[in-house]
Amino acid sequence: MANRTVVVTGAGGFIGGHLVSRLLQTGSAEVRAVDIKPFSQWHQIFDDAENLRLDCSRLDHCKTATRGAWHVYNLAADMGGMGFITSNRALCMLSVLINTHMLKASLDDRVERYFYSSSACVYAAGKQSDANVTALREEDAYPAMPEDGYGWEKLFSERMCRHFQEDFGLVSSVARFHNVYGPHGTWNGGREKAPAAICRKVIQAKLSGNQTIEIWGDGAQTRSFMYIDDCVHGIDLIFNSDVEEPLNLGSHELVSINHLVDIVEEIAGVRLPRMYNLNAPQGVRGRNSDNTLIKKYFCWEPSTPLAVGLENTYAWIYDQMVSGRDSKD
């Protein structure tokens, strides 16, 4: 078993780096880490892994990635926070090439199990129009009306996994991530998500003495946010199960963006006047994860309190900023 190779695409990214770290800690297989970015831009890189710089939108590069592989975790995608995905719909859609080619290469190389990282952006927009949103069940992805661009690509790629399993026998697992955050994530540059962006803005205000913070939208929009350790544990549970349907992987702790700012301000020991940018990208009005199925299958759900995860995230971003380090996309 120790000679078998597990492939992680998107390994230079936030979630991928944490997943590689976890797989290396288990020691159950060799780990091949794959990403398109130069190694200097990987969020985390590990000498114990086989690190390859490949473009997984190309079939020939996917074949290099899957050569001799036992398991594949496909986390590669061109994505970011709401500001990025609303301004780069075509780029997000082009990620369909990654999953299509990774599936084909995995099938050709007789990979035993395949994991695809989907997103809560697959859910129908009409079910997310109220800040007091009813938590989204897996079945709420249909009738389909996902986030334009990014959400459509994720939903289409989920179907590709399903049909490769039905038609060709490639065993596949799909998790729908809900707003993952934590240390080693992107925190500036335009691809960062709300928790990291709020941490950065509060730290900037504290360090600069400019005691104001800009919030996108009116702050009443709601989300749930999942800490990275819960995400990686959930991936492990889903991947090593017989569950064939896509599953929500997210916290059920629903908060408004205003409350998210409250928590970060408490961590920082400040209170900042708020400027609301109503013209900024806001996404859906409310989104939360219904965890009925994941609890049914595993007697588990993501449970790290937001305040705890944010404290760790804030401390890490603060260290990056005072050390003059830049964020990695």
Pair type for strands 30-35 and 247-249: unpaired
Q: What is the pLDDT along the chain (329 residues), one digit of tens a residue?
A: 445 999 999 999 999 999 999 999 998 899 999 999 999 999 999 999 999 999 999 999 999 999 999 999 999 998 887 888 888 999 999 999 999 999 999 999 999 999 999 999 999 989 999 999 999 999 999 999 999 999 999 999 999 999 999 999 999 999 999 999 999 999 998 889 999 999 999 999 999 988 899 999 999 999 999 999 999 999 999 999 999 999 999 999 999 999 999 999 999 999 999 999 999 988 899 999 999 999 999 999 999 999 999 999 999 999 999 998 877 76
Cβ neighbours of residue 299 closer than 8 Å, sequence gap 6 or more: none
Calpha distance 16→51 (Å, rounded):
12
Q: Which long-range contacts (CB under 8 A, 24 or more apart) does 126-132 make?
A: 128/284, 128/285, 128/286, 128/287, 129/284, 129/285, 129/286, 130/285, 130/286, 131/220, 131/221, 131/222, 131/256, 131/285, 131/286, 132/222, 132/286
pTM for this prediction: 0.95
Calpha distance 314→90 (Å, rounded):
32
Q: How deeply is 52 buried, as exposed, middle or buried, from its count of CB atoms within 10 A (0-12, 13-18, 19+)? A: middle
Calpha distance 234→254 (Å, rounded):
19
Residue among 90, 98, 94 nearest 35 (CA):
98
Tokens of 277: 């940018």
Q: Does 73 participate in catalysis according to the annotation? A: no
From the list 73, 116, 123, 150, the catalytic residue is: 150
Number of Cβ atoms within 10 Å of the Cβ of 121: 27
